[in-house]
Amino acid sequence: MKIDIRAEQEQDIPVVYSLHAAAFGQENEGRLVDLLRQSEHYIPALSLVAVLDGAIIGHILFTKLKIMTGAGGEVESLALAPVSVTPDLQYAGVGGQLVRHGLEVARELGYGSVIVLGHAQYYPKFGFAPASRWGLTTTYEVPDEVFMAIELQPGALAGAAGRVVYPKAFEQV
């Protein structure tokens, strides 16, 4: 499917909310995006919409998070969440294009890695691997295989073993 991917603009905000509500069948993810957009974790260039014939059919968001390393240090990384494609256009490659494009923009902006909590069958095809490989932990009680990470710069997560701290907004929805 031939789509355009561009940074979200202000007039897209209500559409993005509705898109997540339709894709997830609940309002939490739309609320999460609204909260993150107002937070220090937001990066405008990494809130991306997929556009088909002028209509928004997908959205992906990457926000800043920190890894608190064992040695008392901090490593900046990104959270990928959420990503949605409008229900009647799923399974046509749009989600994949959004993930790949987003990872490329993040790399160009100089970010070293991305972390995702998501479908264990979906994200490995983009290069994500269990975050435990780099000694990353989360306070969320989830199976090892759904907590994943990818290095955008080689070695970015070497020595970053520690606790991934998600933006507060993730606990507020």
Ligand X SMILES: CC(C)(COP(=O)(O)OP(=O)(O)OC[C@H]1O[C@@H](n2cnc3c(N)ncnc32)[C@H](O)[C@@H]1OP(=O)(O)O)[C@@H](O)C(=O)NCCC(=O)NCCS
Residues that bind ligand X (CB under 6 A): 23-24, 82-85, 90-96, 118-119, 121-122
Least distance CB 69 / ligand X (angstroms)? 26
Position 9: which residue type? Q
Neighbouring CB atoms inside 10 A of 25's CB total: 9
- CB nearer to ligand X: give 23 or 61: 23
We find the least distance from the C-beta atom of residue 83 to ligand X, in angstroms, to be 5
* Residue 26, CA distances (Å) to 23, 57, 121, 141, 166 in order: 8, 17, 22, 21, 21
Smallest gap from residue 132 Cβ to ligand X (A): 18
Nearest-Å Rg of the Cα atoms of the chain is 15
Task: Please say which residue, 130 or 159, places its beta carbon nearer to ligand X.
Answer: 130
Cβ pair 21, 30 in contact under 8 A? yes
| Shortest distance, position 22 Cβ to ligand X, whole Å | 9
Residue where the block lists tokens 């990384």:
77
Residue 94 C-beta: closest distance to ligand X, Å = 4
Q: Which of 110, 86, 102, 91 is nearest to 23 (CA)?
A: 86
Closest CB to ligand X among 11 and 121? Answer: 121
Give the DSSP letter of residue 31.
H
Question: 111 or 123: whose CB is closer to ligand X?
Answer: 123
Single-letter code of the amino acid located at 134 = W
Which CB atom, from 20 or from 41, has the smaller least distance to ligand X? 20
